[in-house]
Amino acid sequence: MHELQVTESILNIALKHAEPSNVTKIVKIHLDIGDLSDLENEWIQHYFDYLSKDTIAEKAELVINRKPIVLKCDACSHSFEINKNEMKDIACPKCGNQKCSLESGREYYIKNMEVL
């Protein structure tokens, strides 16, 4: 159900930005979504199809680009990617420090839109 609220927000933002430019049709919306997000691609598109009926975004395709999880070592400032299943035993590959900060992986945003 989390996808419904997020998808409604995506649609509202797309429509808001399309209106002042006199857009007649939103064809594609490119999204960047972090790998730590629990949002499912299929459900986002499903809810978008439902919510966008009778709008200029009806039948628009959501192109979802998954962004990697990137951590930054608190000791040496080295940034590195990890997989979701490696979140328990995190250590900087450069210095071995176990205290790291999340740089990316939780985000979701509209990168751009293709319109007519």
Least confident of 2-6, 25-29, 48-52, 77-81: 2-6
Q: What is the largest CA-CA distance in the chain?
A: 55
pLDDT tens-digit series, residues 56-66: 999 999 999 99
Domain 2-115: which CATH number of 3.30.2320.80, 3.40.190.10, 3.30.499.10, 3.40.640.10 = 3.30.2320.80
Residue partners of 79: CB distance under 8 A and separation at least 6: 70, 71, 72, 73, 103
Coil vs helix vs strand at 10: helix
User: Could you tell me if 45 and 3 are in contact, meaning their C-beta atoms sit under 8 angstroms apart?
Assistant: no
Q: What is the DSSP letter of 60?
A: P
Please report the pLDDT score of residue 87 as a whole number: 85
Please report the pLDDT score of residue 1 as a whole number: 57
Q: Where are the chain's structural domains?
A: 2-115
pLDDT tens-digit series, residues 11-53: 999 999 999 999 999 999 999 999 999 899 999 999 999 999 9
